[in-house]
Amino acid sequence: MPQNERIPTEDKVKAVEKCLRGTISINECAARTGVSTTTLNQWIRLYEVRGAEGLKPTEEYRRYTAETKTRAVEDYLSDGGSLNSICKKYDISNKSMLQKWIKRYNGHGDFKQPNTGGAIYMVKSRETTLDERIEIVSYCIANNKDYGKTIEQYGVSYKQIYGWIRKYESEGADGLIDGRGKRKPEGAMSEVEKLKAQLKLKEAENLRLQMENDLLKKLEEIERRRGLD
């Protein structure tokens, strides 16, 4: 599906060129065009890197190699420039994409493993115990729902992990009890077992949130220091 073009490409080009010529400020141009300054700055960067073609709607999302992602993230983290300048340097579509890469990099994610699709997601389903499912879901949550990493660690399918995560989020620890099939279903957890499972899963969630908060603080501090330069 092509990206939504609420504003015609030619109008985007005119707005960008006015800003680059200095005939109008970015704030005023954004207000007149009906977009945020963040969006307008993104148009300017895309125009400077790709020309007018960069402002046209595309049929699919731009793809980046693992090497490009790694270079961009490491360049940013080594004070190689601001989010905007790194995006411009590596022709990255938007800052939020770069921020996601930084988040994954800091969580020890592997850019060589795809987020969706790919051979790793062809791993077949297997039977698991309740304790295994609690362990797997806890690991996946603690690692910011890195399904590829979880599949490699536990050898279960993407479909299984995704289903367990959804059940846990909607039903809590009880959602991980497997009562399907002809074999004898697992009995309900005792109160002690349930409390232990809930504690383990909660600790995983807290770890993920702490990692996210630490990363956001790090990014904010980097941007603040660069703004003072």
Q: In angstroms, what CA-CA distances link 79 with 38, 41, 221? A: 22, 21, 12
Token representation of residue 174? 């009880």
Q: How confident is the model at residue 104 (pLDDT cuts 50, 70, 90)?
A: confident
Rounded to a whole number of angstroms, the CA Rg of the chain reads 23
pLDDT digits (tens, 9 = 90+) for 149-185: 888 888 888 778 888 888 888 888 788 886 544 344 4
Distance, in Å, from the CA atom of 76 to the CA atom of 87, rounded to the nearest integer, reads 10
Q: Distance between alpha carbon 136 and the CA centroid of its chain, in Å?
A: 20
Angle between helices 191-228 and 130-142 (to 10 degrees): 10
Q: Looking at the predicted structure, is the pLDDT value of residue 193 above 50?
A: yes
pLDDT bracket for residue 141 (50, 70, 90):
confident
In this structure, what token pair is assigned to residue 46? 């895309």
